[in-house]
Amino acid sequence: MRIDILTLFPEMFDGFLETSIIKRAREDGYVDIQVHNFRDYSTDKHNRVDDYPYGGGAGMVLMCEPIFNAIEAIKTDESIVIMMSPAGKVFKQEMALDLSRQKHIILLCGHYEGFDERIRTIVDMEISIGDYVLTGGEIPAMAITDAITRLIPGVISSNSLDSESFNDGLLDYPNYTRPEEFRGMRVPEVLLSGHHKNIEKYRQDERIRRTNEVRSDLTGGNSHE
């Protein structure tokens, strides 16, 4: 899989790409992630990429030409172009799973006041990571890239993914490790029992309890019980 990220601040991705699972996935050949500064695609002698909005108003608007040039230089017949936008569909696990099956994704990071509206004509979809505003699309692009990459077969053990939060509308079960007791708090006895059937039931019950308690919106009022 290939992911191309278009941004004005490629240096923001340096640590992200060279750390932990993302780094290993790239080194092992599961994903090819490239970051491009779309300022390099400007034909202006000063590499300008933004201008004042027609009709007045605060802020600067990203211009069509450098972004069109960048996307057209990178895009193939297999590409999906995604704009980071607060107006987009809210990113969810099922969307991450669908995107992880694609061959080529282009992520477009905005900045300043936003994009010239005509840029939307070369975008396949818009994604938001939540109902709040950030200074740019770089952090959402990192979140989406991380969520997609870890779902690519081989990047993470399939056993680790099976019971993850959101896979079936439930949150993950609580986990414990050594010591068995810490400041009066003990690991549940069932996890020490070695009885796999009882452990499986406990964990499923805990997933239901936790989801109903803190994220009942995920079940739509259905308790799963």
User: Using one digit for the tens of pLDDT, what is the confidence trace for 24-53?
Assistant: 999 999 999 999 999 999 998 888 999 999
CATH of the domain at 56: 3.40.1280.10
What domain range includes position 77? 2-149
Residue 181 has pLDDT above 70, yes or no: yes
Task: Based on the fold, state whether residues 134 and 176 are members of the same structural domain.
Answer: no
- Give the number of domains in the chain: 2
Q: Are residues 46 and 139 in the same domain?
A: yes
Distances (CA, A) of 60 to 36, 37, 82, 83, 159: 21, 18, 21, 18, 47
Residues in Cβ contact with 41 at an 8 Å cutoff, skipping those fewer than 6 apart:
65, 66, 67, 69, 70, 73
Q: Kindly state whether residues 37 and 127 are assigned to the same domain.
A: yes
Please report whether residue 158 resides in a domain: no
Q: Is residue 130 part of a domain?
A: yes
Please write the tens of the pLDDT for every residue from 50-99.
999 999 888 899 999 999 999 999 999 999 999 999 999 999 999 999 99
Q: Are residues 177 and 110 in the same domain?
A: no
CA–CA separation, 106 vs 67, rounded Å?
12
